[in-house]
Amino acid sequence: MLADRFGCGGDVHVPIAGLSFGTRQKIALVAALAVDADLFVLDEPFNGLDALAAQELQACLDELRDAGRTILASLHGIDRVARYFDIALQMVDGTVGLPVDLRAWRANGASCESIEAGLIESLHPPS
């Protein structure tokens, strides 16, 4: 069961108001990921998760990607984007930039650290 993977299987029948923010986040993710869909849209899915739950979420997202599903996620953590996602779109002051193909950067030998630095530089190019 997906709830057990996130460690919240015993909480799915508890009123949501009585749960911590992290547990509410886990239950919301379980509900979102339990759907058989081709596209998953997630807003800050790692927010409020402990390290084990974040690791489990990443494993679930990897499984969905490997099954041919598309995951559109808004994240503030550029390090996680650089490490785990294939394409990045950055938004600055409400303007969305061009897509960045992170797979191509990795295929050309870029490390996650250099990808992260490149993404940050593209937000604030040197003057």
Confidence class for position 80, pLDDT limits 50, 70, 90: confident
> What average pLDDT does this structure show over 44-71?
94
Q: In Å, how far from its chain's centre is CA 84?
A: 8
Enumerate the domain spans of the chain: 1-74, 82-127
Residue 61's pLDDT is what? Answer: 94
SS3 31: helix
> What average pLDDT does this structure show over 102-111?
89
Question: Which amino acid belongs to residue 99?
Answer: P
For the stretch 4-19, pLDDT in tens is 898 888 877 888 888 8
pTM of the predicted protein model: 0.81
Q: Nearest 5°: CA angle at 39, between 65 and 112?
A: 40
- In the CATH hierarchy, which top-level class contains the domain 1-74? alpha beta
